[in-house]
Amino acid sequence: MNLNMWKNHKGTAKSTFRKKALKLYGYACECCGIKMCEWHHLISKSKDPKHWIILCPTCHSVITRRFIKVNSRDDIQRNLVPFIKKLYQDLRFNLGNDSVYI
């Protein structure tokens, strides 16, 4: 059974474009700085590097689940960063008697 989830079965999207995006925009999320990266298209299936963004899984899921609309690189700072800051402020983990805030 083939479990390859990439739409482009030749590996182009997985290797060439992703590597180029990481070289251009760095190896950390452009919103929060976490160094666990995913590659996102601002404009679906665009081959233009201006329409790519590097995000962590959390920031990526906020966009793909349409909590925040991001159509341009400017929208990252305008819409996504404030949303993520609020999200991380609201997160709280209980570890026994102590609470840990992110």
Rg (CA), the chain: 16
pLDDT at residue 50 in the model:
87
pLDDT tens per residue across all 102 residues of the chain: 444 444 444 444 556 788 888 899 999 999 989 998 888 989 888 888 888 999 999 999 999 999 999 988 899 999 999 999 888 888 775 545 555 444
For 86, residues 6+ apart whose C-beta sits below 8 A from its C-beta are: none
pLDDT at residue 16 in the model:
79
Length of the chain: 102
pLDDT at residue 14 in the model:
57
3-state class (DSSP) for residue 29: coil
pLDDT at residue 98 in the model:
53
pTM, rounded to two decimals: 0.71
Tokens 């999207």: give the residue.
Answer: 13
pLDDT at residue 2 in the model:
45
